Structure 1
Amino acid sequence: MRKKKRGMAIAASSVLAMSLLSFSTSVHTSASSQTVSKNYLIAYSQSLPKDYQTEINNAGGVVVKAIPEIGGLEVRSTNPNFLNQLKSSATIAAANVEKSFKLEDGQPEGADGKPVTLPDSDTYWNLQWDMQRLTNDGKSYKLESGGTETSNGVIHKAVVGIIDSGIDQTHPDLKANFIGGQNFVPPGGYGDEAPVNPTNVTDTNGHGTHVAGSIAANGKVKGVGPDLGIRAYRIFDASGSAPTTPIVAAILQAANDGVDVINMSIGGFDNLKYYYEGTRYSDIADILLWKRAIKYAVNKNVTVVAAAGNDSLDYADKKSLTDYMNVTYGKDLGIIFKGVTVEVPGSTPGVITVSSSNKWSTAKLAFYSNYGNSFIDVAAPGGDNGPVYDASRKLAERDFTYRTLSTWPTNLEPNSATTVNRDYAYLHGTSMASPKVAGIAGVIKAAHPEFTPSQVQALIEKTAFDYGKKGHDPLFGSGEANAYTALTGK
């Protein structure tokens, strides 16, 4: 296999995907002054030293969360010179302001008053063009579904951890395969100091439930492995925001829980040199903790899959990434980006990075998908708005049925931008492509529990359909992944 890459992006467009949005800060106002409290990430050179609490306190900080498995800390401080105070420490490898990630609005442009109405039917299989293609019209289910159905429930042969906005565990298409998880979000969202209820993984956004259906739905819609176990790791609050710390903590927790695969339909930019109010900063601590968390999971035999992002960017063009950062985020944040821009988690060693293919072309990716040499490993169906829209880019010419149909939370209002039905929705994005590959990895592990993450990835790449230019290319990587060919080995 190829040596794993160095960077890329994820962010906006009309898809639920995660983007780097802002510093993680909070403002506390008193009668006489305004105090700005910032959250920071600290990456120690190795393990946490015994005196780390004292060191942080002396610099004017308070430890919010320790992550001893990867030598990391989340720290809050009102001291504007906090980072400078730490420079004398011989044990700290890097420190930076913690980033906050945000799920973008799923369909900000609306549906022009023409959402899709699903028929009253016991099955929507005929509407799942993506799943039909991935499974060779369902033939892969006969080879491996991810588990065994019994009169007492499903015996799951492999489990996929979904780090996202939670899962509707009561959804009729998901409840048989839901086996728990953990919540990292405080009851009032990030910034609320109330105790976290670790069992509350209820999806308040919809994104995680849609992703879960692509992996393991077994009802009106089907996932890649309709008998795979799924565990929810809820890291986004109701506003769709999450700092880095709970995300890397969720990776570690999923690995410790013994999942076979992790799906992250998320990602964001980090920059190695930027200026804020005249002071130079970098995101090296952020990148280090991402790398350590992924390595921790892979060392526990977990296959990690992530979305490539929805910015239509070529990762091989490094200058364009930093220019994009300045145009998209720099002005609003008051930041000037000067250094190399990388993407996490997709560019992190050990991750299978997935671009988004569509229904109608084997030569073109979906219009929003990121791409790039040494970045994309494989593609998978994430859907788009159809060939007419692709040619014209007129919103009135979108056809939502070219997107991918999956589960939607029963506790939320219907996604009226794409469907008037309550429990299902059409969405598109690399967020919808990544779980297809995670599902394939899951059924591979169910069939071959002895496989290592590198063996799982090698099989997925070897058996992918060679779309785009012959051989490995910047758009599709090794090709469009397929569950049936992966299970048959050809």
Structure 2
Amino acid sequence: MTSLIFHTLKGKRGAPSMKKFILCFLLIIIPTTTLHAEESTWIIEVDQNPHDIKDYIEDYHPLLKVEHVYDTLMDALAVTGDTRHIKALHEEQFVKSIQPVQMYTVPSNHAEPQIHPERARYHPTGLPYTGKGVKVGVIDTGIDYTHPDLEKSFHGGFDVVDFDEDPMETKAGEGMPTLHGTHVSGIIAGNGLMQGVAPDAEIYAYRALGPGGSGTTAQVIAALEQAIKDGMDIINMSLGSNTNSPDDPMTRAVNRAVELGTTVIVANGNSGPEEWTVGSPATSEKAISVGAAITKQEVAQIKTADSPTIPVRQLPLSESWDLKKGYPIAAPQSLKELEPTIHDRIVLIKKGNTPYYELIQQLEEKGATAALIYNGPQDDPNQWEWVQAPFPASYLTEEEANALIQGELWLQTNYKTIKNALAPFSSRGPVASSWNIKPDILAPGVDIVSTIPNGYAALQGTSMASPYVAGVAALLKEAYPHDTPSQIKSRLLSSTKLFETGDQEAPPSEQGTGFIDTKQAINSTYSIENNRLNFGKIDATHKYVNQTITIKNHDREPLNVRFNIPKRQSGIVWDLPMSTTIEPKTSRSFEVGASITPDRLTKGNKEGFIEVELNQKINHLPFLFINKTSDYPRITGFELDMEPFQNEQLTVRFFVNENVEQLKVILIEPKYLRTTEWFTETDVKNGVFEKTFEVQNLPKGEFKAIFQIEQNGETITEEKNIYLPEF
């Protein structure tokens, strides 16, 4: 997850002490509209001038408060009020849609360990470009603009949380302090003891996340609009969700921002290592989505005498896993079965429905040396409510936990140094529904030293990889000031280094086009537009797929082009262009195609790389298609909301990633294993699905919802954990 070591700037009290902490810095999305909330905020999309609608609401709906007006990325308003008063607004003819906002949160910490910021020199030596004159907007928790490494870089911004022009990080006394935006800003343009990628770039901070690192969709989109109006060249968004969809409001807003001329860089997410874990807005086709790579890191691994080696996935806010000897394992079925004291033992336990804070509290009371926590495959640990853990805690998969339980219950920890590897937490693609390759690119995202309020910290996450790419984009914007966002993206993605894991290339759904190469991106004499070959989903018995790429020769010399025929594979016959030459300062388009016979291929994701030699230098074009079906999520973004105009009704809302012939939802009560058929729908179309229920007719309690999806003669099953409370 996100490792961090702090260094506090030396003051009158002298040097601080050394400690280690763990922190996860992918911003998690949770619904703000709870089932018991009296007031909530909604995004109201309208078909008229939103400023006129604001005046109308203030005149005729005085009990509703207009929080934000959007007139650039969409025609909409963010409106807060009691659900009883939303009813009348819902009935107005100018309303196109009403959608509840979601909450973005990031855990925070306040300690004073020490680190050496001189390690952080991210600007490439020998380059004449430093980002001078380039405006970079950072949509985050704000910025400590008094930090000596950021004073030169900071040029302004806006605070959407407090609605003023002071985007300072949340300080103690104002709520839970934050540091995330300051760390991100330092990676981009730190200019002092540490040096960011583009040290002379102009940082504009847009504080969309308040105390404790929390804020709403309404605030984030408002910050994005303000950044566009302020003329940002580059925008960094180190935030995301677990909704793998190309069509939610945030993704559409990001796409529109790029269309208006701003390059937007987005963190790909920290929900790896499984496929299909990329989340919005990294699912945006037009944004540059960034995965995280390890350049060098010492990692801990655990095993018993009989088990395979398992990586330590440190949980946020727990002590560093630094165990130098072996320990016995205690593996109770539940907390109730734990002995009164468990000193000098590592507890292996299933989280189940126990809140994380309660689990940590009880393990601390009983004296656990460390904890290994696992849960079912549908549970995402990134969404647990973190609290400080005074002992090391790591997350396991259920499969890994079972392997440990079956072996000798004595755990050893080994350490090894990893170089040039994909970070295990980095979210993978593809994007459901659009089947696009994500991430677009990889960048350093592990053990990244940067600024925090009053000091420095080493963190990890795609939140750290994204600003690295934003810094490189600033260098490119200075070097090529007239380039469009699409051209900057092409330069970045055409100059990467292919990433290998062991003896094999990491697939495109893990690395996109590869690892960023700053100097090559700036100095390259060519670029390839539309260089990710997204061939979509193949359902027919035979299909010809193709995509057009454009190669630009920026040089004064001719560019020789040759496509290399891939290794033969049953079921795929490639149709590649002939060798040719592109004249100086011109471009040429090429059609890359393939004849696919699905029945001669196994089902699932088919991906790899096509080699194209440009002046004898090999470039790799990633390709991907889905053969008939795969284990992609059919249902994402599951929410339960009260109807805004009737307290007696509950709305189920989720995104369906493709057309479904029949959808049946069955509720299973875990305690008694009783099953209830909830509802069945036929001919469900791709997009947002909503269904409203009378509250009095719903069962109550915690359930496992089983989605049975009938599609092309097959039945696919997906699970979600839900809670239906008393009203």
Do both proteins adopt the same fold according to a TM-score greater than 0.5, normalized to the shorter chain?
Answer: yes
Residue equivalent to 2:32: 23
Does structure 2 conserve the Cα–Cα contact (< 8 Å) formed by 1:472 and 1:478?
no
Partner Cα distance (1:77, 1:180) in 2: 32
The one-letter amino acid paired with 2:148 is P
Whether the aligned pair in 1 keeps the contact of 2:240 and 2:282 (CA below 8 Å) is: yes
Structure 1 residue corresponding to 2:185, chosen from 203, 207, 212: 212
What is the DSSP-based 3-state SS (H/G/I as helix, E as strand, rest coil) of the residue aligned with 2:511?
A: coil
* Deviations 1:236-274, CA, capped at 9 Å, x for gaps: 1122110111111111111111111000111124488xx
Cα distance in 1 for partners of 2:130, 2:206 equals 23
Q: Name the counterpart of 1:371.
A: 428
Q: Taking structure 1 as reference, are residues 483 and 116 closer, same or farther at Cα in structure 2, changes over 3 Å only? A: farther
1:180 matched residue in structure 2:
156
2:81 aligned partner = 77
Q: Conserved in 1, the CA contact under 8 Å of 2:255 and 2:284?
A: no
Change (3 A) 1:259 1:81: closer
2:511 corresponds, among 464, 472, 476, to 476
How far off its partner does 1:425 sit?
Answer: 0.8
Q: 1:353·1:375 contact (CA, 8 Å) conserved in 2?
A: yes
- Which of these residues, 102, 105, 108, is aligned with residue 102 of structure 1? 105
The letter of the residue matching 1:380 is A
Inter-CA distance 444–461: structure 2 relative to 1 (3 Å threshold): same
Task: Select which of 143, 147, 161 maps to 2:128.
Answer: 143
Q: Which residue of 2 aligns with 1:258?
A: 231
Q: CA RMSD in A?
A: 3.2
- Residue matched to 1:118: 115
Code of the residue aligned with 1:355 in structure 2: it is: G
Structure richer in helix, relative to its length: 1
Q: Distance in 2 between matches of 1:206 and 1:427?
A: 11
Q: For 2:78 and 2:235, locate their aligned partners in 1 and report how far apart those are by CA, in whole Å.
A: 23
Question: Does the alignment pair 1:197 with 2:164?
Answer: yes
Structure 1 Cα separation of the partners of residues 165 and 487 of structure 2 = 33
Q: Does the C-alpha gap of structure 1 residues 299 and 102 become closer, same or farther in structure 2, counting only changes over 3 Å?
A: same
Aligned to 2:257: 297
Task: Please state whether the residue corresponding to 1:432 is helix, strand or coil.
Answer: helix
Relative to 1, partners in 2 of residues 1:202 and 1:82: Cα closer, same or farther, differing over 3 Å?
Answer: closer
**In 1: Cα distance, 2:524 partner to 2:244 partner:** 40
Question: Which of 355, 358, 362 is residue 291 of structure 2 equivalent to?
Answer: 355
Structure 2 gap ranges (5+): 1-21, 172-177, 297-417, 431-436, 526-727
Shift of 1:201: 2.8
**2:453 alignment partner, one of 398, 405, 409:** 409
Letter of the aligned partner of 2:427 in structure 1?
N
- Deviation of 1:378 after TM superposition, in Å, equals 0.4
What is the count of residue pairs matched by the alignment? 366
Q: Distance in 2 between matches of 1:362 and 1:89?
A: 59
Using the alignment, how far apart are the partners of 1:219 and 1:408 within structure 2? 13
Listed as ranges, the matches of 1:226-241 within 5 Å are 226-241=199-214
Aligned mates of 2:26, 2:518 — CA distance in 1: 24
Q: Distance in 1 between matches of 2:244 and 2:86?
A: 20
Measured in 2, the distance between the counterparts of 1:435 and 1:409 equals: 18
Amino acid at match of 1:64: E
3-state SS in 1 of match to 2:510: coil
- For 1:168 and 1:55, the matched residues in 2 are separated by 37
Instruction: Tell me how far apart the structure 2 counterparts of residues 365 and 21 of structure 1 sit (CA, whole Å).
Output: 27
CA distance in 2, matches of 1:427, 1:46: 45
Mapped to 2, the partners of 1:201 and 1:116 lie a distance apart of 22
Residue range with higher mean Cα deviation, 447-456 or 351-360: 351-360
- For residues 483 and 200 of structure 2, the distance between their equivalents in structure 1, rounded to whole angstroms, comes to 19
Aligned equivalent of 1:431: 463
AA in 2 matched with 1:294? V
Q: Is the 8 A contact 1:60 1:79 kept in 2?
A: no
Mapping of residues 85-96 of structure 1, within 5 Å: 91-96=94-99
Contact 1:178–1:229 (Cα < 8 Å) also in 2: yes
Cα distance in 1 for residues equivalent to 2:28 and 2:464? 15
1:456 aligns to what? 488
Equivalent pair of 1:471/1:478 in contact (CA under 8 Å): no
Shift of the 58–166 alpha-carbon distance from structure 1 to 2, 3 Å rule, reads closer
Is the Cα contact below 8 Å between 1:160 and 1:229 reproduced in 2?
yes
- After superposition, give the CA deviation of every residue in 1:322-353 in whole Å (9 maximum; x if it has no partner): xxxxxxxxxxxxxxxxxxxx832211232111
Aligned residue type for 1:359: T
Q: In structure 2, what residue type is equivalent to 1:41? A: I
Q: Secondary structure at the match of 1:474?
A: helix
Q: What letter corresponds to residue 352 of structure 1 in structure 2?
A: I
Letter in 1 for 2:144: D
With the length of structure 1 as denominator, give the TM-score of the two structures: 0.67
For the residues of structure 2 that align with 1:177 and 1:60, how far apart are their CA atoms? 42
What TM-score do you get using the length of structure 2 for normalisation?
0.46
Note if 1:382 corresponds to 2:449. no
Bigger Rg, which one = 2
Mapping for residues 271-350 of structure 1, pairs under 5 Å: 287-288=248-249, 290-312=250-272, 314=274, 316=276, 343-350=279-286
Distance in 2 between residues matched to 1:226 and 1:54, nearest whole Å: 46
Identity of aligned residues (%): 29
> What is the alpha-carbon distance in structure 1 between the residues aligned to residue 456 and residue 219 of structure 2?
28
Larger relative contact order, structure 1 or 2 (CA cutoff 8 Å, min sep 6): 1
1:237-252 alignment, distance < 5 Å: 237-252=210-225
Q: 1:453 to 1:271 in 2, by over 3 A?
A: closer
Q: Tell me, what secondary structure is at the counterpart of 2:188?
A: helix
Structure 1 or 2: larger strand share? 2
CA distance, structure 2, for counterparts of residue 118 and residue 484 of structure 1: 28
Cα pair distance change 1:428/1:106, threshold 3 Å: farther
Which position in structure 2 is the counterpart of 1:190?
Answer: none
**Secondary structure of 1:63's aligned partner:** strand
Gaps of 5+ in 1: 1-12, 28-34, 148-156, 187-195, 273-282, 322-341, 384-402, 411-422
Letter in 1 for 2:164: N
Q: Does 1:268 align with 2:257?
A: no
**C-alpha deviations, 1:392-436, integer Å up to 9, x for none?**
xxxxxxxxxxx11111112xxxxxxxxxxxx11111111100000
Distance 1:464 1:434 in 2: 15
Native 8 Å contact 1:216 1:223 kept in 2: yes
